[in-house]
Amino acid sequence: MVNLTVNGKARTYDGDPDMPLLWYVRDDLRLTGTRFGCGAGLCGACTVHVDGQAVRSCQTKMSTLAGKTVLTIDALSTNGTLHPVQKAWVTHNVPQCGYCQSGQIMSAVALLKATPNPTDADIDRGMAGNICRCGTYQRIRAAIHTAAKERA
């Protein structure tokens, strides 16, 4: 039995303790904003926050989440107000197909929390784990700079 909080709601899980958080939020809770990309921690599409840290939900076993607080993209904006990072994504028209962008945004939010005014090199380091096959990296970089300015 694992008690955890997901997007502000208390949840209890009693299934396979090895099941990754990814499939818990998607298949069990139907929070589908978190995407499946590789299942191996290589692409970042499944990035969520656990206690404020960006993690790959496909590599995070349910057994490790007792007492933890999970935030997914589905609850990043509150009361219909976009998070500054989401706003910057919209301003720069970042997405093409959009599939990886949930993970990109969650990684960017965590990056800005740790590094409020990132350099290009900080962004390269912080975002290198998130693949975008459409190739939107240049706009992601610009959007992160914009979000940093807005929050400063």
Shortest distance in whole angstroms from residue 55 CB to other proteins = 16
Residues 13-72 that bind other proteins (CB under 8 A): 16, 19-20, 23, 26-28, 30-40, 42-43, 45, 72
Which positions from 88 to 127 touch other proteins by CB under 8 A, shown as an x/- string? -xx--x-xxxxxxxx--x--------------x--xxx-x
84 touching other proteins, by CB under 8 A: no
Nearer to other proteins, 98 or 146 (CB): 98
SS3 for the chain, per residue?
A: CEEEEECCEEEEECCCCCCEHHHHHHHHCCCCCCCCCCCCCCCCCCEEEECCEEEEHHHCEHHHCCCCEEECHHHCCECCECCHHHHHHHHCCCCCCCCCHHHHHHHHHHHHHHCCCCCHHHHHHHHCCCCCCCCCHHHHHHHHHHHHHHHC
152 touching other proteins, by CB under 8 A: no
Residue ranges in contact with other proteins by CB under 8 A = 16, 19-20, 23, 26-28, 30-40, 42-43, 45, 72-74, 76-77, 82, 86, 89-90, 93, 95-102, 105, 120, 123-125, 127-141
